[in-house]
Amino acid sequence: MRTLFTALTLALPLAALAAPSLVEVRVVPPDINLSSKQDSQSVIVQAVYSDSTTRDVTAQAQFSLADKTLARLEKSVVHPVADGKTELTVKFDSKTLTLPVKVEKSAVPLAISFSLDVMPVFTKAGCNTGSCHGSARGKDGFHLSLFGYDHEGDYGKVTRQMLGRRINLALPEESLLLTKSTGAVQHTGGKLLEPKDDLYQTIVRWLEAGAPADAKDTAYVTGVEIFPVQAVLEGSGASQQFTVRAKYSDGSDRDVTKIASFVSNNDVSAKVTKTGLVTADKRGEAFVMARFDAFTVGAQILAIPKESGFSFPQVAEHNYIDTLVHTKLKKIRITPSDVTDDATFLRRVTLDITGLTPSAEDVRAFLADKDAKKRDKKVDELLERPEFTELWVMKFAELLQIRTDNNQFLYKSVLQYYDWLKDQFARNVPMDQLTQELLTAKGGTFSNPAANFYKVETDVLKLSENVAQVFMGMRMQCAQCHNHPFDRWTMNDYYGFAAFFAQVGRKTGEDQRETVVFNRGNGGVRHPVGNRDIPPKFLGMDGGTPAEGQDRREVMAKWLASPQNPFFAKNLANLVWAHFFGKGIVEPVDDVRISNPPSNPELLDELGKRFTDSNYNFKKLVRDICASRTYQLTPKSNELNAEDTRNFAKGTIRRLRAEVLLDVINQVTVTKDKFRGLPVGSRAVEIVDGRTTSYFLTTFGRADRGTVCSCEVKMEPNLSQALHLLNGDTVNNKIQSGGLVAAMTKEGKSNEQIIEEFYWRSLARPPTQTEQTKLAEYFTEAKTPADKAVVLNDVFWAVLNSKEFIFNH
Amino acid sequence: MSNQKPTWCNSADHSFYTSRRNFLQVGALGTLGLTLGDALKAQAYEATPSKEGKAKNVINIYLPGGMAHQESFDPKMYAPIEYRGPMGTIKTKLEGVYFSELMKETAKIADKITVVRSMTHGEAAHERGTHNMMTGVRPSPALEYPSFGSVVSHELGPRNNLPPYVAIPSMTANGGTGYLGSAFAPFSLGSDPASAGFKVRDLSLPSGIDDKRFATRRSMRATVDEHFSKLEKTDALDGMDTFYQRAYSLISSEKAREAFDIEKESTKLRDEYGRNTAGQRMLLARRLVESGVRFVSMTYGGWDHHDNIKRAMENQMPNFDQAFARLIRDLDERGMLDNTLVYVTSEFGRTPKINQTAGRDHWPKVFSIVMAGGGVKRGYVHGSSDAQGAEPENDPLTVSDYSATVYNLIGIDPERRLMSPGGRPQAIVLDGHVQKDLLA
């Protein structure tokens, strides 16, 4: 069949139409570990083709075991026979792969456990969800912990509550727990299990064993994996089976595919069955999540229509960013837009790096420059401007909530804190150092302004949430009350992380206005379940126990801002990316979670890795981004990428943020503003206090730094903005007081020349011939110089009210 | 499926299982060829589409701080002095119904309004209570809910060239769009109609620019904009265009602009409403809804009377009383009361007992709100508090039921769900029931 297809397509001249060839075969999981008599592991074989599509070829692959006395095969499932090590060989088409098989305790039947076997049934069947028994007060008198965060509590409720009526050890199948679940007796939640189901049988086995409680040393789940991590399915109906494996604290693992819960975030493109079989439908991207125990893991599904004739054009790749972006685009069969022209590039990159527009002279010089490397050179030049750091100081001032607060946070402190931050950026202090200095800050807030970090927020839980959100892009709030349903975080993680901040002490300094931050050396946080003191623990990984007498924050900061913490560099890289593309690879930037996956995980990983390798060098990262072809694309879409908004296949159009818009209006009209504590003519970007604002800035959505949320900066247009630009005093007055028209008229410039100048300085381009012609018509009735000045001012007004001016594109 | 009162924690939207069909669905929209139509088909909500209900116009008078129910609509005249407080009472137009002595005018129109004396919730902090009353949903750590006004703006859109949702003088806490897009934010006046020379900012042309010159400017702007508009279209650009168009219609429709011009009201009527913030804000609110604004939210005073409640009430209540009574009569005289819902709310009531500083502290367990017009009964007292004004005694009105009732009157199905970021559909009311007793 395949050869026939190849023969047919050979007749066609286009190479793109040749049948995709097999590139790679993946066999997952990468190793097989069987550790009890009942254990088994399903294996999945995925073929990857040259057009980036994948196929589930498990059924077509040939499996063979090197030593059949140790294990046996049932289709693609490996079962134990005797202890030892062997290999599984998988053959598909021209490819052959082997993976190690380890069999242990093959004669030992696995004892049934409440937490490891029974509780997953509750989750899989949906018993412990928020709308059912997992609700805060339970349902119909039966309360289970939400998604099973409290093993011991649930055991008590099942076996002890209601005088033990829920279970019947003499006649297990008569237990209310089971008769309810099968709908044999009335159950508000309906029928959830069938007696023949494995899930049902698991509970029966547990009851037959006498409904034992777990031994103290029962292993617990330490992580969950899903295989394969990605599938590119071509054509409606194409499917891929997934397998889920849990790892336990005793080093063992289990195939939990049958008892994990699956969910797709986009059923229109990919549906998933209860057993993890994903079927593609409409074109689109989906994310399939599997939940087991407290863990959620996800895999990316790209559903693309069966079509021939797609060919990815020959486009240059300026650097690794383009390679990774194009890899994704090829998979989803989208082509990137063209590269934007020099003038648009210059305006875009100048606005993004410095928060100002290029001057008319800059634009002209840039257009005249014949150097092939002029764009890269321009980026380097802009990065050396002080405005570059000022922009990022502003962004971090928002994250650190630098603002006055009645008598709590005086202007003096705000100014010191801001200056400290500015100094850090000006000296290009690597981000890990800056972060560590903030997080471990102690002493008086006057002598060490970084200590203000602990003055802004004094609540332990809130403080730890802020740290997670600002430095790792994570919203931990959900896990305060229950295990996060869409993420990996458990209450243990939440309180374990909060514990790092539990010993921060604060007292009033000699100067009444100063706060002294110190390490109290005692105190902790308590878990709401069991009210036990939780020791500090890193988020998402082991470790974090401080040495005797060590400041807990030091342990945390050293880990948080380091390569050991995978979230730190990626979060910052994403933050920077979002600034230049108007959208993060994870979006919103401060909502990293399993169920909100990055649109291009490989890209984010690489950005994070390189950022780390460069010793957290901000400028290097910005340079890479701005030099990429991806950054330099025109917003003009092509047929294939018109609908796409997540894969950076075209330039993004973004409204200028409040401060930048005001600064740019001042710049092009040659006028000045005055902000509190700053000399006349300072830019809005340099505002020290979050509370300093103006009607213009507030209307255009300036962050008042009240919270750390990225949503503080409002980029959405509104009616007041339109009214203000049309009728308000900003544009109208500044055109007048700047006196640009008068000055240029005095220089003897013609109307056309003056209009051209407006265009150059505001839009970084000359007016088109059509525009000049149309605008010239407005002068027909202007007889006197005064009349002409009016028309010219109005043209300027029109330029400043144009979308081309208000947006970066 | 359930007969249990949901909270945020057990609402379907908060859980993984029941909402999983919808979970994040539209989050993936925007990638590839998935169209909005596809996504909407997949959602299939059962709620009825919104259309103008009995209350074609809405005025929400919000009294920030937490107005004491005892010193306003629910005096405890037979309670011991420490509960009764320092104020006397006045007989109203309704047989056996008394208001606080300062509500002389409101007493005379008691036959036109409904007083709910059994409003109840559990949030004793200002911001949380405000969230309850402005959004109709209890505050959640994970999501900010849209205000009633923003939902109305989202569901029903503009009318007569006017913005659908206006805030006088500016947006209150929780008066915003919550998880809805900012296109549904209120148009904030930015200045107070009671101040001398009151003008809504940027509504009228700057001095020196007449209509003719503005028309020229407009056409110049079209010329300059054309080049770029031809190049690209995106949501953000469309949004800006929408607001420019709305601004143009506002600026160029004298009638629409006049809606904001309080000077156009007769001196006599302005005096009768009262030349103060209560009077002029209420008058402007009436003027705006009469012209076509769908939802006006206004605030008056500060009612957080921890100290000397008598003096504070004597300062603030008479103006409210005069304005509110005049507003109701004015609407009635114009034949607008039956299609204009006026509701007076506050984040909570105040403690049953007078405290050491002769004031009262926060008390959400029971307090009073007022609803009038727009399909609400005339001359009715709903529910009651106990003898000390401490707990609801009859027919408690929960936040969810209050919210369901308000939406129902406006013509928005309380079952309706709106899309929050990440594509999670959110119920606008958490299991509320329309309180039929309140309806005319």
Examine the domain organization and report whether B296 and B376 are in the same domain.
yes
Q: What is the pLDDT of residue A155?
A: 93
The residue out of B259, B279, B296 marking a domain boundary is B259
Examine the domain organization and report whether A524 and A447 are in the same domain.
yes
Examine the domain organization and report whether B116 and B156 are in the same domain.
yes
Assigned domain for B31 exists: no
The residue out of A562, A582, A603 marking a domain boundary is A562
Cβ-Cβ contacts under 8 Å, A729 against chain B: 206
pLDDT over 70 at B32, yes or no: no
Examine the domain organization and report whether A438 and A526 are in the same domain.
yes
Predicted-complex ipTM score: 0.81
Assigned domain for B59 exists: yes
Cβ-Cβ contacts under 8 Å, A768 against chain B: 227
Closest CA of chain B from A772, distance in Å: 10
Examine the domain organization and report whether B57 and B164 are in the same domain.
yes
Q: What is the pLDDT of residue B3?
A: 36
The residue out of A304, A323, A345 marking a domain boundary is A304
Q: Tell me the per-residue pLDDT of B178-197, one tens digit each, with 9 for 90 and over.
A: 888 667 888 888 789 999 88
Q: Among B275, B124, B249, B257, which residue's Cα sits nearest to residue B194? A: B275
Examine the domain organization and report whether B122 and B158 are in the same domain.
yes
As a whole number of Å, the end-to-end CA separation of chain A is: 49
The residue out of B242, B259, B276 marking a domain boundary is B259
Examine the domain organization and report whether A456 and A554 are in the same domain.
yes
Q: Among A721, A652, A637, A732, which residue's Cα sits nearest to residue B242? A: A721
A 478-517 residues inside an 8 A Cβ radius of B: 478, 480-481, 485-486
pLDDT over 50 at B6, yes or no: no
- Distance separating alpha carbons of residues A44 and B295, to the nearest angstrom: 58
At a CB cut-off of 8 Å and minimum separation 6, what does B356 contact?
none
pLDDT tier at B64 (50, 70, 90 boundaries)? very high
Query: Between A and B, how many CB-CB pairs are < 8 A?
Result: 242
Q: Which amino acid is at B161?
A: N
CA of residue A690 relative to chain centroid, distance: 26
Assigned domain for A553 exists: yes
Q: What is the pLDDT of residue B421?
A: 63
Q: Does A801 touch chain B (CB under 8 A)?
A: yes
Examine the domain organization and report whether B337 and B270 are in the same domain.
yes
- Contact yes or no for A723 and B201 at CB 8 A: yes
The residue out of B259, B280, B302 marking a domain boundary is B259
Contact B66, B346 (CB under 8 A): yes
The residue of chain A with its CA nearest to that of B228 is A804
Q: What is the pLDDT of residue A765?
A: 95
Q: Tell me the per-residue pLDDT of B260-269, one tens digit each, with 9 for 90 and over.
A: 999 999 999 9
pLDDT over 80 at B408, yes or no: yes
Question: How far is it between the farthest Cα atoms of chain A?
Answer: 107
Assigned domain for B241 exists: yes
Assigned domain for B424 exists: no
Cβ-Cβ contacts under 8 Å, A653 against chain B: 232, 234, 236-237
Closest CA of chain B from A655, distance in Å: 7
Domain that holds residue B232: 201-259
Q: Does A563 touch chain B (CB under 8 A)?
A: no
Assigned domain for B70 exists: yes
Q: What is the pLDDT of residue A712?
A: 79
pLDDT over 70 at B38, yes or no: no
Best residue in A803, A807, A808 to probe B by mutation, most B CBs within 10 Å? A803
Examine the domain organization and report whether B164 and B278 are in the same domain.
yes
- Contact yes or no for A726 and B27 at CB 8 A: no
- Contact yes or no for A136 and B1 at CB 8 A: no
Q: Among A341, A350, A356, A339, which residue's Cα sits nearest to residue A381? A: A350
The residue of chain B with its CA nearest to that of A799 is B224
- Distance separating alpha carbons of residues A273 and A604, to the nearest angstrom: 30
Q: Outline where A342-410 has alpha helix (H).
A: 342-354, 360-368, 374-383, 386-399
pLDDT over 70 at B20, yes or no: no
Q: What is the pLDDT of residue A345?
A: 97
Q: Does A137 touch chain B (CB under 8 A)?
A: yes
pLDDT over 70 at B31, yes or no: no
- Contact yes or no for B30 and A728 at CB 8 A: no
**Residue of A265, A726, A768 with shortest CB distance to B28:** A265
- What does the block give as tokens for A126? 């949906």
Examine the domain organization and report whether A554 and A448 are in the same domain.
yes
- Quick one: average pLDDT of B96-120? 97
pTM of the complete model: 0.79
At a CB cut-off of 8 Å and minimum separation 6, what does B74 contact?
B115, B117, B367, B368, B385, B389
Q: What is the pLDDT of residue A137?
A: 64
A 723-762 residues inside an 8 A Cβ radius of B: 723-724, 726-729, 732
- What does the block give as tokens for B340? 């204009």
Best residue in B14, B220, B231 to probe A by mutation, most A CBs within 10 Å? B220
Examine the domain organization and report whether A461 and A554 are in the same domain.
yes
- Contact yes or no for B236 and A717 at CB 8 A: yes
Given a cut of 50, the residues of chain A with pLDDT beneath it are 1-16
- Contact yes or no for B183 and A798 at CB 8 A: no
Examine the domain organization and report whether B375 and B356 are in the same domain.
yes
- Distance separating alpha carbons of residues A704 and B33, to the nearest angstrom: 38
| DSSP conformational letter for B2 | -
Q: What is the pLDDT of residue B174?
A: 87
- Contact yes or no for B24 and A334 at CB 8 A: no
pLDDT over 70 at B259, yes or no: yes
Examine the domain organization and report whether B356 and B277 are in the same domain.
yes
The residue of chain B with its CA nearest to that of A188 is B1
Q: What is the pLDDT of residue A417?
A: 96
Examine the domain organization and report whether B348 and B287 are in the same domain.
yes
Residue B206's CB is within 10 A of a number of other CB atoms, namely 15
Q: Tell me the per-residue pLDDT of B65-78, one tens digit each, with 9 for 90 and over.
A: 999 999 999 999 99
At a CB cut-off of 8 Å and minimum separation 6, what does A510 contact?
none
Burial of A547 (0-12, 13-18, 19+ CB in 10 A): exposed
Examine the domain organization and report whether B340 and B409 are in the same domain.
yes
- Contact yes or no for B221 and A801 at CB 8 A: yes
Assigned domain for A643 exists: no
Examine the domain organization and report whether A491 and A445 are in the same domain.
yes
Examine the domain organization and report whether A189 and A290 are in the same domain.
no
Assigned domain for B138 exists: yes
Examine the domain organization and report whether A33 and A103 are in the same domain.
yes
Assigned domain for A633 exists: no
Q: How many domains does chain A have?
A: 4
Examine the domain organization and report whether A80 and A118 are in the same domain.
no
Domain that holds residue A473: 428-562
Assigned domain for A352 exists: no
Examine the domain organization and report whether B362 and B221 are in the same domain.
no
Closest CA of chain B from A7, distance in Å: 32
**Residue of A599, A729, A771 with shortest CB distance to B227:** A771
Examine the domain organization and report whether A432 and A555 are in the same domain.
yes
Higher pLDDT pick, B64 / B179: B64
Assigned domain for B391 exists: yes
Assigned domain for A634 exists: no
Q: How many domains does chain B have?
A: 2
Q: How far, in Å, are A284, A291, A520, B359 from residue B26 at the CA level?
A: 11, 21, 48, 51
Q: What is the pLDDT of residue A758?
A: 97
pLDDT over 50 at B21, yes or no: no
Burial of B73 (0-12, 13-18, 19+ CB in 10 A): buried
Examine the domain organization and report whether A240 and A92 are in the same domain.
yes
What backbone torsions phi and psi does residue A95 show, to the nearest 5 degrees? -105, 145
Examine the domain organization and report whether B254 and B346 are in the same domain.
no
Q: Among A82, A114, A104, which residue's Cα sits nearest to residue A219? A: A114
Assigned domain for B1 exists: no
Q: What is the pLDDT of residue B249?
A: 85
Examine the domain organization and report whether A147 and A123 are in the same domain.
yes
Best residue in B1, B22, B31, B243 to probe A by mutation, most A CBs within 10 Å? B31
